Amino acid sequence: MKTHLKQGWLLASRHFFIVILLFLYQLLWGFFLYRFIDSIAAPLLRRFPNEALPDSSVQLFISEAQFHLIKTDLITPYAWLLGGLIAARMLLTPLFNAGLFYSFRHANASEGTRFLQGIGKVWRPVTLLYWIKTLLALAPAWWLLPRALQAALASHSIGEAAIRLLPGAAGWLLWAAVLHLLFLAMQFGAASGDGPFRSLWHALRHVLPYGGLSLLMWAIGAGVALFVTGLSFIWAGLIALIIHQGYNLIRTMMKVWTLAAQYDCLQSRSDI
């Protein structure tokens, strides 16, 4: 496992310019998503009754909001805008993945990376696998979300609601994690030329080292996130802002390092 971490780091360092590109992509996505939420939340918060008004004013505010959501088309432009943002992300993310995964296999020290070439060559299979994975990961929502809403409405406290919702949420998270690992292996195979099903077979044969490495990298990423969050609480102000902004670059580097280590783990066992 130590070898995969080291080789993954070397491979991720070789693609540092792609890390910068992914960082800017995440930054722009976060900015537009923030502006979208702010454009909806800010007008509502300005109209929300303050504490000096009676409780009946809050009920009136909620009733008015329900009326506008159900009886008018107020939500329609926001729904279309949100759908457009999600569609753009689902189109762009697999393109970045295709270029990165292809470059993992074909990059060399003398000629550099193959990011743009990878996008042109393997974007179709990688995009198809990404969409299938996303649909399968969201499929349990059809069954879980209505039951989660009923459980939340029937609960008398936040703690009781959390206890009722925890099993379903944990199962959904486990389902999404397993799908992510399996389809990630298939995307590696599609991008490298080995074939998605052959790479999937390697992942299933070596599920313990592959899954263990993934869990270790996720734990390292979570530890870094907790460390940065703790520093932000201790050093409030400008230092906290600088640390928070710098962490976005660190998080992107951690993501590419994780992908590179997972790729090296599967690739090193492809002939075993």
Query: How far apart are the C-alpha atoms of 78 and 84, rounded to whole Å?
Result: 10
* Residue 242 vs residues 114, 223, 225, 231: alpha-carbon distances, Å: 32, 19, 14, 11
Q: What angle do CA 245, 249, 252 make, to 5 degrees?
A: 135
Average pLDDT (97-120) is: 83
Residue ranges of domains in the chain:
2-11+63-267
Tell me what pLDDT residue 173 has.
Answer: 93
246 vs 18 pLDDT, higher one: 18
Residue 5 · residue 261 · CB < 8 Å? yes
Q: What is the mean pLDDT of the chain?
A: 82
Tell me what pLDDT residue 230 has.
Answer: 79
Query: How far apart are the C-alpha atoms of 212 and 249, rounded to whole Å?
Result: 25
The token pair that represents 129 in the structure block: 């696998």
Burial class, 31, CB count within 10 angstroms (exposed 0-12 / middle 13-18 / buried 19+): exposed
Residue 167 · residue 151 · CB < 8 Å? no
Residue 107 CB contacts under 8 Å (≥ 6 apart), including other chains: 11, 14, 15, 113, 114
In 48-196 the beta strands, taken as DSSP E runs, fall at none
Tell me what pLDDT residue 166 has.
Answer: 86
Residue 1 · residue 222 · CB < 8 Å? no
Average pLDDT (211-229) is: 90
- In tens, the pLDDT along 128-170 reads 999 999 999 999 988 888 887 777 767 666 677 778 888 888 9
Q: What angle do CA 96, 33, 135 make, to 5 degrees?
A: 55
Q: How does residue 68 score in pLDDT terms, banded at 50, 70 and 90?
A: low
